[in-house]
């Protein structure tokens, strides 16, 4: 194993910041035989990209992603750009023989996702799709409990990802609110996460029935640089059309199981900032977890004595939960940014392995197939197979 690997990160803002921090922190807190070197960060605006390089500690910056992915000194390309750029960037990086981390949703269409998977498989490079919440110790512990049968036969899976950042009709049309850049709205952005979590924890979705809605169809046009969190960018007095969903709800059946799934992805749940929640109810017990209280989960064990039945709170920072030994003593708690550090640690540590444990482009494609079925079902108002 090489002692170092050179990284190029495409994206300088929300995920650019999260991933930069992860490359900085991973070798400091984890024992990594191969350490990442933060070679070059890539954005689409020179001033912002130069500033990001300085702030986050990248050696160089560029606005030419094509040149960067073809540089012979780059080993890993990390794609944290809007969805419409994932396929061209990943396919070019694969052709250049780079290992690739790509943000979720893997692509904007099933065809793009299939092409991306074919490209990385042909090139024989490692590939990860950024389903970040899989790297939460609480979620991994829940997975372990389900796999060893602690919940028994699963009856219900409820996935719900609620946010409220565009309830204000004056919030402008940024790239996330346009089909040509984002593919879909709440569905692809946050519905992708709960779909992946459900498939990771319980099994593949087989069919869905769905409804989607766009509550506010016209909004002020935005400065192209606006991100998810910035309301302060330049706004135009002209209006633009929102051609993606603001919210999606669906019910699902799983392959090889009679469990029922109910799901909701919305940007219109006032008061819910990042309520990414999964509830699983089984014959032997139940689990409830949500990212707003990310280190804890509720566990009900049906075998508890009658005088102490009820949900207990498990703090997943105690020893016995993954990654905790690398951070702080129990209940000193980790945060959102640590999940990305775990991603980077796993990706780089497993570079030389045949089989990997993290979500790959194949998982990204599986999610894309479900998202596609949800969009078809919302249109047809019928059950649609994945
Ligand atoms: N894993 C997660 O939990 C999570 C959270 C948020 C976003 N995401 C995903 O990350 C990706 C980026 O989202 P974001 O919130 O960081 O977006 P953002 O708007 O904050 O940043 C987008 C970045 O892309 C760069 N960019 C755009 N066009 C470019 C081009 N042609 N060349 C080079 N760079 C270009 C911009 O410079 C900017 O830095 C999306 O796919 C999104 O779905 C994942």
307 in the same domain as 160 = yes
The pLDDT, as a whole number, for residue 47 is 97
Count the Cβ atoms, other than its own, within 10 Å of residue 203.
17
The pLDDT, as a whole number, for residue 236 is 67
320 within domain boundaries: yes
Closest residue CA from atom 40 of ligand 1:
82
Closest residue CA from atom 33 of ligand 1:
43
Q: What is the rounded distance in angstroms from the CA atom of residue 58 to the CA atom of residue 80? A: 15
343 within domain boundaries: no
Mean pLDDT of 155-178: 96
Mean pLDDT of 341-358: 97
47 in the same domain as 9 = yes
274 in the same domain as 129 = no
Separation of CA 305 and ligand 1 centre (Å): 50
Q: What is the rounded distance in angstroms from the CA atom of residue 236 to the CA atom of residue 222? A: 6
Examine the fold and report which residue of 133, 156, 188 is the final residue of a domain before the chain moves on.
Answer: 133
Separation of CA 49 and ligand 1 centre (Å): 13
216 in the same domain as 113 = no
Name every protein residue with a CB atom under 6 angstroms from any ligand 1 atom: 10-16, 42-45, 65, 80-83, 85, 103-104, 130, 132, 189, 227-228
Mean pLDDT of 178-186: 97
Ligand 1 atom nearest residue 131's Cα: 1
Ligand 1 mutation pick, 9, 10, 11, max ligand atoms within 8 A of CB: 11
Separation of CA 82 and ligand 1 centre (Å): 5
Closest residue CA from atom 30 of ligand 1:
44
Mean pLDDT of 272-279: 97
Taking CB atoms within 8 Å and a gap of at least 24, the contacts of 92-97 are 92/66, 93/69, 93/125, 94/119, 94/120, 94/122, 94/123, 94/125, 94/127, 95/119, 95/123, 96/69, 96/70, 97/123, 97/125
Q: What is the overall mean pLDDT for the chain?
A: 95
The pLDDT, as a whole number, for residue 11 is 98
Closest residue CA from atom 22 of ligand 1:
81
Instruction: Give 229's pLDDT tier (boundaries 50, 70, 90).
Output: low
Separation of CA 28 and ligand 1 centre (Å): 25
Q: What is the rounded distance in angstroms from the CA atom of residue 81 to the CA atom of residue 14? A: 10
78 within domain boundaries: yes
Ligand 1 mutation pick, 16, 65, 81, 185, max ligand atoms within 8 A of CB: 81
Q: CB-based contacts of 51: which residues, under 8 Å, 6+ apart? A: none
147 in the same domain as 84 = no
Ligand 1 mutation pick, 103, 131, 233, max ligand atoms within 8 A of CB: 103
348 within domain boundaries: no
Separation of CA 225 and ligand 1 centre (Å): 10
The pLDDT, as a whole number, for residue 354 is 93
Residue 322: domain span = 136-335+359-385
Mean pLDDT of 96-117: 98
Ligand 1 mutation pick, 9, 12, 13, 15, max ligand atoms within 8 A of CB: 15
269 in the same domain as 155 = yes
109 in the same domain as 220 = no
Examine the fold and report which residue of 104, 133, 162 is the final residue of a domain before the chain moves on.
Answer: 133
Instruction: Give 237's pLDDT tier (boundaries 50, 70, 90).
Output: confident
274 in the same domain as 232 = yes
- Closest by CA to 20, choosing from 80, 63, 99, 64, is 80
The pLDDT, as a whole number, for residue 235 is 62
Q: What is the rounded distance in angstroms from the CA atom of residue 295 to the CA atom of residue 281? A: 20
Checking if the pLDDT of 239 tops 80, the result is yes
The pLDDT, as a whole number, for residue 223 is 65
Instruction: Supply φ then ψ for residue 145, to 5 degrees.
Output: -65, -40
209 in the same domain as 242 = yes
164 in the same domain as 37 = no
* Predicted confidence (pLDDT) per residue in 77-105, tens digit: 999 999 999 999 999 999 999 999 999 99
Separation of CA 12 and ligand 1 centre (Å): 7
The pLDDT, as a whole number, for residue 222 is 75
Separation of CA 104 and ligand 1 centre (Å): 10
Helix residue spans in 102-173 (DSSP H)? 110-123, 137-147
Separation of CA 144 and ligand 1 centre (Å): 31
* Predicted confidence (pLDDT) per residue in 117-165, tens digit: 999 999 999 999 999 999 999 999 999 999 999 999 999 999 999 999 9
- Closest by CA to 348, choosing from 109, 13, 25, is 25
Q: What is the rounded distance in angstroms from the CA atom of residue 300 to the CA atom of residue 287? A: 7
The pLDDT, as a whole number, for residue 225 is 53
- Burial code (b: 16+ CB inside 10 Å, e: under 16) for 35-73 equals ebbbbbbbbbeeebbbebbeebebeebbeebeebbebee
Ligand 1 atom nearest residue 174's Cα: 19
The pLDDT, as a whole number, for residue 232 is 53
197 within domain boundaries: yes
Q: What is the CATH number of the domain that holds 290?
A: 3.30.360.10
158 in the same domain as 129 = no
Q: Is 334 helix (H, G, I), strand (E, B) or coil?
A: coil
Instruction: Give 319's pLDDT tier (boundaries 50, 70, 90).
Output: confident
Count the Cβ atoms, other than its own, within 10 Å of residue 199.
22
Q: Is the dihedral of CA 12, 18, 21, 25 positive or negative?
A: negative
Ligand 1 atom nearest residue 86's Cα: 41
Separation of CA 179 and ligand 1 centre (Å): 15
200 within domain boundaries: yes
**Number of domains, the chain:** 2
- Burial code (b: 16+ CB inside 10 Å, e: under 16) for 262-287 equals ebbbbbbbeebeebbbbbbbbeebbb
Torsion angle, CA of 125/126/131/137, rounded to 10 degrees? Answer: 180
Closest residue CA from atom 21 of ligand 1:
13
Separation of CA 65 and ligand 1 centre (Å): 13
Q: What is the rounded distance in angstroms from the CA atom of residue 145 to the CA atom of residue 143? A: 5
Examine the fold and report which residue of 89, 117, 133 is the final residue of a domain before the chain moves on.
Answer: 133
112 in the same domain as 64 = yes
Mean pLDDT of 56-75: 98
Asked if residues 58 and 40 have their Cβ atoms less than 8 Å apart, the reply is yes
The pLDDT, as a whole number, for residue 328 is 95
Separation of CA 169 and ligand 1 centre (Å): 23
Q: What is the rounded distance in angstroms from the CA atom of residue 271 to the CA atom of residue 241? A: 25
Q: What is the CATH number of the domain that holds 129?
A: 3.40.50.720
């Amino acid at each position: 194993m090489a002692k170092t690997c050179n990284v190029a990160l495409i994206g300088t803002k929300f995920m650019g910041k999260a991933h930069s921090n992860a490359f900085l922190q991973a070798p400091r807190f984890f024992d990594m035989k191969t350490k990442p070197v933060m070679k070059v960060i890539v954005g689409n605006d020179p001033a912002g990209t130069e500033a990001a390089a300085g702030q986050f500690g990248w050696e160089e910056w560029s606005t030419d992603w094509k040149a960067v992915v073809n540089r012979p000194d780059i080993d890993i390309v990390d794609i944290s750009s809007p969805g419409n750029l994932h396929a061209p960037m990943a396919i070019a990086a694969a052709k250049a023989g780079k290992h690739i981390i790509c943000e979720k949703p893997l692509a904007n269409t099933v065809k793009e996702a299939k092409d991306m998977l074919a490209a990385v498989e042909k090139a024989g490079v490692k590939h990860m799709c950024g389903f970040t919440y899989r790297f939460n110790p609480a979620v991994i512990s829940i997975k372990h409990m389900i796999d060893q049968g602690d919940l028994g036969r699963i009856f219900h899976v409820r996935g719900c990802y609620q946010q409220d950042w565009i309830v204000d009709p004056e919030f402008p049309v940024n790239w996330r609110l346009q089909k040509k850049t984002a593919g879909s709205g709440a569905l692809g952005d946050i519905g992708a996460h709960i779909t992946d979590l459900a498939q990771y924890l319980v099994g593949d979705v087989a069919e869905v029935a769905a409804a989607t809605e766009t509550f506010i169809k016209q909004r002020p046009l935005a400065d192209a640089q606006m991100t998810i969190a910035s309301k302060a960018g330049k706004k135009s007095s002209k209006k633009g059309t929102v051609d993606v969903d603001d919210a999606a709800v669906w019910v699902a059946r799983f392959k090889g199981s009679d469990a029922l799934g109910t799901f909701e992805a919305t940007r219109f749940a006032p008061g819910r900032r990042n309520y990414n929640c999964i509830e699983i109810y089984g014959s032997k017990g139940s689990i409830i977890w949500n990212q707003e209280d990310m280190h804890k989960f509720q566990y009900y064990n049906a075998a508890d004595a009658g005088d102490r039945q009820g949900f207990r709170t498990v703090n997943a920072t105690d020893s016995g939960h993954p990654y905790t030994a690398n951070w702080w003593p129990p209940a000193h708690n980790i945060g959102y940014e640590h999940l990305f550090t775990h991603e980077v640690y796993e990706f780089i540590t497993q570079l030389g392995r045949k089989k990997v444990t993290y979500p790959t482009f194949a998982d990204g494609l599986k999610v894309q197939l479900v998202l596609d079925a949800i969009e078809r079902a919302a249109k047809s108002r019928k059950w649609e197979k994945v």
